[in-house]
Amino acid sequence: MQLGRRGINMKAKIEYAIIVILLLLVYIWTNNLYTLWIAAAVIGAWIIAAVINLFVAKKIKISFTILNELSEDRQLQLCVENSSIFPASHVRVVFGCQNVVFASDCNATVDCSVGGKKTSTYEVPIGSKYCGRINIDIFGIKVYDWLGITAKKLRPHGDCYFYQYPDESDEVLQEFEGNKSSDSDVNYKHVKGNDVSEILQIRKYVVGDSIKQIHWKMSAKFDDIMVKEFDRPNDMSTMLAFDYASSNDKEENKKIIEAVATISKELQQSATGHTVYRMDTAKTKVVHRDVFEYTEYDVMLQELLGTVANGGEYSVVDHIIRHNTIERFAKVIYITSARDRSRAAELDSQEKCLVIAV
């Protein structure tokens, strides 16, 4: 197996053409039929090899899977199956790896062979410098004849992906632990026996309130939309929000994603329900995900690793302030880039808000 070999096909064609031309020149010069027969035999061998190669190519099947997906020794396993009686001496597979988060990709070429009625497997180390969802696509498959002159292209089929999870940030964890609220502040709604149906007050509707909170009788009486404030801040007690840096700042975005994953995991392990607010950059829309169980944390993380990291003019912090979303939470944790902390100025002034700049 070799990676990155190119130009083999053209080189073989040139060499073979030179041999045929030399034989023809010798025949013309000597008028010896033996040289003509040899030239004809060489051309015939190429035709036979090309015909057999067309047959073999139809019998080649290629599949690939990820080995050791959760370890650092991750590998792409290529399985080349040949159901014909003839061996395939040269099969070339070109595939690419794309990191969704950082919109970066790289291509690799694998040259392999497989005997008749046999299956060969090849392992190629794969990975990425940055965390994210890594999509793997086969761009091209070529089966070359024994002489390396002709090649039959096969239609690529199948793809796969894996998640390269972010590392835990000890620095962020230490800062978070030093500022963490008491359990009674954050975990109130998760204590069994709390009467979360008790209405604490009736107030006017603000953007972000649920339609389920509307008190219809009081709204009709005051000729205004009135809502019920229940005995809990909202569906989840803690907000975890963040904004990306520019797409060019890959290291900054890497730190931000690591910080989000670290804090969310710490909250989940301490049984603290929280809601993660992030920017869906594909739709330029702020979305959120409730996290309490580990499965919910894993879903949130996979959604995060499947989103392009690119900060824009419209930010998550602008959204939660404009829609008064932070009023529905007992604790707000906001993660931003240390290069631009200006967006967090309003949150810094509120006691329940913790701003972490990475």
**pLDDT tens, residue by residue, 277-316:** 999 998 889 999 999 889 999 999 999 999 999 888 788 9
**What per-residue confidence (pLDDT) applies to 193?**
40
For residue 257, what pLDDT is reported? 96
**Which is it for strands 75-82 and 132-144: parallel, antiparallel or unpaired?**
unpaired
At residue 102, φ and ψ (nearest 5 deg) are -110, 10
Q: Please, which pLDDT band fits residue 2 given cuts at 50, 70 and 90?
A: very low
**What pLDDT, on the 0 to 100 scale, is given for residue 344?**
82
pLDDT score, position 303: 94
Residue 196: DSSP 8-state? T
Is residue 194 pLDDT above 70, yes or no?
no
pLDDT at 309: 92
Of 73-77, 235-239, 280-284, 296-300, the one with minimum mean pLDDT is: 235-239
pTM attached to this predicted model:
0.72
Residue 271 backbone class (left: φ over 0; alpha: ψ -120 to 50; beta: rest): left
Reported as a pLDDT band with limits 50, 70 and 90, residue 196 is very low
Where exactly does CATH 3.40.50 map onto the chain?
Answer: 170-194+232-357
User: What percent of the chain lies above the pLDDT cut of 90?
Assistant: 34
Residues of the chain with CATH 2.60.40.10: 2-164
Distance CA 67, CA 48 (A): 39
**Bigger pLDDT: 234 vs 125:** 125
Question: Confidence class of residue 200 from pLDDT cuts 50, 70 and 90?
Answer: low
Q: Which pLDDT band, with edges at 50, 70 and 90, does 9 fall under? A: low
Q: Which residue has the tokens 């670290």?
A: 262
Which superfamily does 2-164 belong to?
A: Immunoglobulins (2.60.40.10)
Indicate the burial class of 342 (C-beta count within 10 angstroms; 0-12, 13-18, 19 or more). Answer: exposed
At residue 282, the 3 state secondary structure works out as: coil
300 forms bridges with which residues in the sheet?
Answer: none
Q: Average pLDDT over the chain, rounded to whole?
A: 83
Inter-CA distances, 8 with 107, 145, 150, 212, Å: 18, 12, 11, 69
Mean pLDDT in residue range 231-245 = 73
pLDDT at residue 230 is higher than 60: no
Supply the pLDDT for residue 116. 92
Task: Give, to the nearest 10 degrees, the angle between helix 250-269 and helix 170-179.
Answer: 50
Task: At 353, give phi and psi (nearest 5°).
Answer: -100, 130
| pLDDT tens digits along 33-71 | 777 777 787 788 888 888 999 999 999 998 888 888 878
Q: Between 3.30.70, 3.40.50, 3.30.450, 1.10.3470, what CATH number should domain 170-194+232-357 receive?
A: 3.40.50
List CB contacts of 102: < 8 A, sequence separation 6 or more.
Answer: 130, 132, 247, 250, 253, 308, 309
Contact 118, 326 (CB under 8 A): no
- The pLDDT of residue 146 is 85
Structure tokens at 155: 């239609």
CA atoms within 13 A on the CB side of 33: 0
Predicted pLDDT of residue 82: 95
- Secondary structure (3-state) at 177: helix
Greater confidence, 341 or 144?
Answer: 144
Q: H or E element: which one contains 174?
A: helix 170-179
CA neighbours closer than 13 Å in the CB half-sphere of residue 45: 14
In tens, the pLDDT along 105-141 reads 888 889 999 999 999 999 988 888 899 999 998 888 9
Which of 127, 142, 121, 11 lies closest to 69 in space, CA to CA? 127
User: Residue 135's pLDDT is what?
Assistant: 92
Q: What is the spatial distance between Cα 336 and Cα 36, in angstroms, rounded to a whole number?
A: 77
Sheet containing 118-125, strands listed edge to edge, beginning at the edge strand earlier in sequence: 60-67, 75-82, 118-125
Residue 110 Cα distances to 32, 137, 142, 245, 271, angstroms? 45, 13, 11, 36, 47
